[in-house]
Amino acid sequence: MRIDIPKSDGTSISLYPLDEYLSHVLFDHFVLTGDFVRHEELSDEYNGSLILVDYKPMATSAFVNSQGYMPFIIQMSTSPEEYYSLGYPKGIEVCYGEKAIYLKLGELSRKIKKVYDYAISKRIVRVKIIQGTTTKDFDFDVIILKDGYSVDPRFEDERVSAKKKIKELIQMLESEIPTIQEDFKIEYNFYTYPDNSLLYPHILLIPKLVVKEISDFLLSQYQQIYGVVAKFPPEFTPTDNIQTTELSKFLEKLPLELFTKAVIGLYGSHPAVLLPEGDYSQYLTGNERVVNINLVKNVVVVIVFGNSQEQQNVEQNKEEENRNTEQNKVEKAPNNVTEGLGKEIQSIYESIIEDYFINNEEKKNRLEKLNSVLNELGKAILDALKSQTPLKANELRKYAEDIAKNAGLSYINNFEYYLDYYEHSLTETEELEVLVTLLTYIGKTMYDIDKKIKEYNSLQLTY
């Protein structure tokens, strides 16, 4: 989620979560460009500055020397000599920084080639992080799968067929290698080559944890400079995989400016929310305890809820033993509805940027319209949460129609299953749970839209 910090000259500094900023620079601006999959010499450099905002590491692309900021430089390069064809490997060692993942393929490599006609390659990315007088390397490998067939952009059926094959191959990899989604960012795209107008499908596997390695290094540098514990108190472990009724009710009561600062996690083994110093008594539901933690230069507040996570897991396991399959489906329904709606919104965004039949100016225009609709939907959800009155299905349908218009109205049918379930199968409490989590999906897509619009603007300036 973007935060804008006003400056004395009337302008502002846009800050993004550090991990998202690093992913944007390393992946979106370097690895996922068309030049990367070609055998070309590449290099690029980005400035950045790190600051802690309510103990959340945030970064901006500006080189800021003001108090509280720590400037740094990211240098990236790769050469044709570091682009290897791998043939039919039984396994691939994928390095990132000083660590590595072993991608066990076995006979999958032959299946990738013989069944799907994709060739397997590896390319090394050289990354150097410069912070003051300290320099550290974080080189990492990228696995590239290239289709042996090209796609003629004049024929929509060819692109649809190629995209279907890509998704089948990715699904096969995810099925055969259970940890692949945890270890890798999996991206696909159609790239062109200078000598013709054909499109060449590629799938890229990028080790996610290189971002964490760089993030940890920058935060350790920040701590040395400012003596502030970067990240969180030692008793608190941030995680998004926490869901309790009490926690949800507490978050629903928070005003937007506090909601964006809240960090969900575990305090010891108990579900908790970390917030900046303040009085939160008006938002408590009655079964929490408030812990004030004194850090080096600041105080943070941790709201701790109910039973420990272990106790909740035991209770949940006992309940699950007594439920049949249908009951399990009902229990998971709010999550499934939220995930379904969130993914459909994201797919609209992806369909726009992947549409090779419209130019960048039209893509930018559609993204701006999509962003406006999502902003309106986000505001409507916040109003609904404040009043504890969930949006009606027909209200969501109207927003879904406005969202789908940006990629073709046929996409509205993709929302209908989840909206129908929302309308006829969920209680009001479950509908509110759906809306709370849907905000996160909307925020992520709006962040992606903002990055892509800036990218299109920079391309216009280049030309």
SS3 category, 386 = helix
For 259, other C-beta atoms within 10 Å of its C-beta total 17
244, part of any domain: yes
Quick one: 289 and 382 in the same domain? no
Residue-wise pLDDT for 105-122, tens only, equals 999 999 999 999 999 999
Residue 96 identity (one-letter amino acid): Y
* Domain around 135: 3-218
21 and 169 assigned to the same domain: yes
- Gap between the Cα atoms of 125 and 140, Å rounded: 5
Give the N- to C-terminal CA distance of the chain in Å, as an integer.
Answer: 30
User: In the structure, what pLDDT confidence band is assigned to residue 318 with cuts at 50, 70 and 90?
Assistant: very low
Do 334 and 310 share a structural domain?
no
Write down the residue that tokens 């903002």 correspond to.
450
Q: What is the dihedral of CA 42, 43, 49, 55, to 10 degrees?
A: 40
The counts of H helices and E strands in the chain are: 14, 18
348 with 289, same domain: the answer is no
pLDDT at residue 159, as a whole number: 84
In which band, very low, low, confident or very high, does the pLDDT at 418 lie, cut at 50, 70 and 90?
confident
pLDDT value for 254: 84
327 and 293 assigned to the same domain: no
| Strand-pair partners of 142 | 123
On average, the pLDDT of the chain sits at: 83
pLDDT tens by residue, 287-303: 788 888 765 555 667 88
For 406, counting Cβ atoms within 10 Å of its Cβ (0-12 exposed, 13-18 middle, 19+ buried), the class is buried
Angle between helices 325-353 and 360-387 (to 10 degrees): 140
Q: If you average pLDDT over residues 177-199, what whole number do you get?
A: 88
**DSSP conformation class of 229:** -
Percent of the chain with pLDDT over 90: 35
Residue 353 and residue 245 in one domain: no
Asked if residue 270 is part of any domain, the answer here is yes
Weakest-pLDDT range from 155-159, 163-167, 206-210: 155-159
Claim: this prediction has a pTM higher than 0.85: no
Q: Which helix (H) or strand (E) holds 146?
A: strand 140-147
> Would strands 118-131 and 83-85 be described as parallel, antiparallel, or unpaired?
antiparallel
Q: Is residue 200 part of a domain?
A: yes
In tens, the pLDDT along 200-212 reads: 999 999 999 999 9
Average pLDDT of the residues in 422-428:
86
Residues 261 and 167 in one domain: no
| Among 314, 340, 360, residue at a domain's last position | 314
Domains identified in the chain, total number: 3
Q: Is residue 84 a part of any domain in this protein? A: yes
Indicate whether 167 pLDDT > 80: yes
pLDDT digits (tens, 9 = 90+) for 215-273: 999 998 998 887 655 556 777 777 766 778 888 888 888 887 777 677 888 888 888 88
Of the pLDDT bands very low, low, confident and very high (cuts 50, 70, 90), residue 153 is: confident
Q: 122 Cβ partners below 8 Å, 6+ apart?
A: 83, 84, 86, 92, 94, 141, 142, 143, 144
Amino acid 89: pLDDT? 92
DSSP 354: T
Q: What is the pLDDT of residue 351?
A: 80
CB 204 within 8 A of CB 32: yes
* Residue 296 token pair: 């080096």
Sorting pLDDT into bands at 50, 70 and 90, what band is 463? very low
Within its chain, how far is the Cα of 130 from the centroid? Answer: 25
Instruction: Examine the domain organization and report whether 282 and 418 are in the same domain.
Output: no
33, 122: one domain = yes
- Tens of pLDDT, residue by residue over 27-46, are 988 998 888 998 889 999 99
Tokens of 452: 């892509």
More confident residue, 131 or 65: 131
> Within a domain: residue 224?
no
Better pLDDT: 327 or 48: 48
Q: 433 and 388, same structural domain?
A: yes
Evaluate whether residue 227 is within a structural domain. Answer: no
Q: For the chain, what percent of residues have pLDDT higher than 70?
A: 84
How remote is the C-alpha of 362 from its chain's centroid? 25
Indicate if 354 and 297 belong to the same structural domain: no
Tell which phi-psi region holds residue 10, choosing left (phi > 0), alpha (psi between -120 and 50) or beta. left
The reply to whether 223 falls in a domain is no
335 and 304 assigned to the same domain? no
**Burial of 121: CB neighbours in 10 Å, binned 0-12, 13-18, 19+:** middle
